[in-house]
């Protein structure tokens, strides 16, 4: 009973401290949002300027004078290089395909443990994991301790 007053004071002090820090965090988050908006605006301006420059360069460049390679065309200037990649094609597997038309050496079969279902038949008894259907000790799993006993406060 003597400690109730001290504990109550500690909780009130924590509550007031938390409210003040949360107020400060709110102000800081608002400032972050304001700066993030400015950053986004600057990034948009850069992208627009970059696209405008690319459009103008594309209309000015003489494609006949560009260096031509297998994958791109390029034109060197003092301040930089104009590069126009050529179209290319990637091979992709269709969403639905006939597995029988693919050689077996390219087919991989994965075995996966249905952990949710398997866990339902396991039980911890005296620090050992037991299969409740067979009564056998299961040695292919391990126990992970989840800490308890810590004070939690609800204000």
Domain boundaries, the chain: 2-86+95-131
pLDDT value for 39: 98
Q: How many CB atoms lie within 10 A of CB 130?
A: 16
Report pLDDT digits (tens) over 86-121: 999 888 888 898 888 889 889 888 889 999 999 999
Q: How many CB atoms lie within 10 A of CB 131?
A: 14
Tell me the two tokens of residue 155: 């204000």
Task: Name the pTM for this structure.
Answer: 0.51
DSSP state of 125: E
pLDDT value for 15: 96
User: Half-sphere exposure (CA, 13 Å, Cβ side) for 71?
Assistant: 1
Query: Distance from CA of residue 17 to its chain's centroid?
Result: 33
Longest dimension (CA), the chain: 93
Strand order in the sheet with 72-76: 67-68, 72-76, 81-85
The mean of the pLDDT values for the chain is 91
pLDDT band at 134 (very low <50, low <70, confident <90, very high): very high
Residues 6+ apart with CB under 8 A from 65: 75
Model confidence at 153: pLDDT above 80 = no
pLDDT band at 1 (very low <50, low <70, confident <90, very high): low
The answer to whether 52 and 59 are in contact (CB under 8 A) is no
pLDDT value for 118: 92
């Amino acid at each position: 009973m003597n400690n109730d007053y001290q504990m109550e004071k500690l909780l009130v002090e924590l509550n007031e401290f938390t409210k003040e820090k949360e107020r400060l965090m709110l102000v800081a988050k608002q400032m972050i949002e304001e700066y993030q908006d400015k950053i986004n605006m600057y990034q948009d301006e850069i992208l627009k300027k970059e696209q405008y420059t690319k459009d103008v360069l594309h209309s000015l460049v003489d494609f006949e004078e560009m260096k031509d390679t297998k994958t791109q065309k390029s034109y060197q200037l003092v301040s930089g290089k104009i590069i126009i990649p050529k179209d290319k094609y990637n091979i992709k597997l269709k969403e639905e395909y006939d597995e029988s038309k693919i050689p077996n050496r390219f087919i991989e079969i994965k075995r996966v443990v249905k952990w949710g279902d398997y866990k339902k038949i396991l039980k911890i008894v005296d620090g050992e994991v037991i299969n409740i259907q067979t009564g056998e000790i299961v040695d292919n799993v391990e126990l992970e301790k989840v800490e308890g006993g810590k004070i939690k406060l609800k204000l």
